[in-house]
Structure 1
Amino acid sequence: MAEHTLIHNQDENKYEYHIDGHIAYITYDNQNGVLHITHTIVPEELAGKGLAKILTIDVMNEIEKQQLKVQPKCSYTVAFMEKNPDYQRLLG
């Protein structure tokens, strides 16, 4: 899968990829610098390509770059954090 540009849609509290007319995204609720990840959504047309993982990695890297913390609330992100202990340093 080609690289995609991560878009931070602050008005809607989302990180997005725009791919072939579809939007894959992660939603969050910012609570005092801790991003509570609420949903990870990949459209059916883009499913099965590992996009949720790629998007989550990009979002985690952006959270770290912004010196924020994360609190996973959606099942995908909870599982991602369990499988990728390197990102647990971002838990807040």
Structure 2
Amino acid sequence: MSFSIQHNAAASRFEVVVDGQLCVLEYRLQGQVMTITHTGVPTEVGGRGIAADLATAAFEAARASGWKVLPACSYAAVFVKRHPEYDDLIVSA
């Protein structure tokens, strides 16, 4: 990862500030399932791979914690299709 992503478990999100802009991947944890609900990167800092780094951090945290992942937001769903190495973590709604 090229950005220093922080896991803010109290806020149920992964986050990083880039050029003063807060970028987030938000999730909801129910039991052992992390539902990714939103990925947000302001247009001012878009196109730098920030969303991919946020998603990678989330999937790696899920793997380390033994969680499954439900990619409910559109970005997370596309990310999963591009990264089959996370297929073993995916659950469907």
* Same fold? TM cut 0.5: yes
Q: Which deviates the most, 25-34 or 60-69?
A: 60-69
Structure 2 gaps, min length 5 = none
Specify the alignment match of 1:57 in structure 2.
56
Contact 2:2 2:53 in 1 (8 A): no
Q: Cα offset for 1:20?
A: 2.2
Q: Which deviates the most, 28-37 or 45-54?
A: 45-54
Cα deviations by residue, 1:36-85 (Å, 9 ceiling, x for unpaired):
00001001111011211122112211211122111100011111111211
Q: Which amino acid aligns with 2:45?
A: L
Specify the alignment match of 2:46 in structure 1.
47
Distance in structure 1 (CA, Å) of the matches to 2:57 and 2:10: 19
Q: Secondary structure at the match of 1:4?
A: coil
TM-score (norm 1): 0.88
TM-score (norm 2): 0.87
Q: Percent identity?
A: 32
The number of residue pairs the alignment matches comes to 91
1:81 aligns with 2:76: no
Specify the alignment match of 2:29 in structure 1.
30
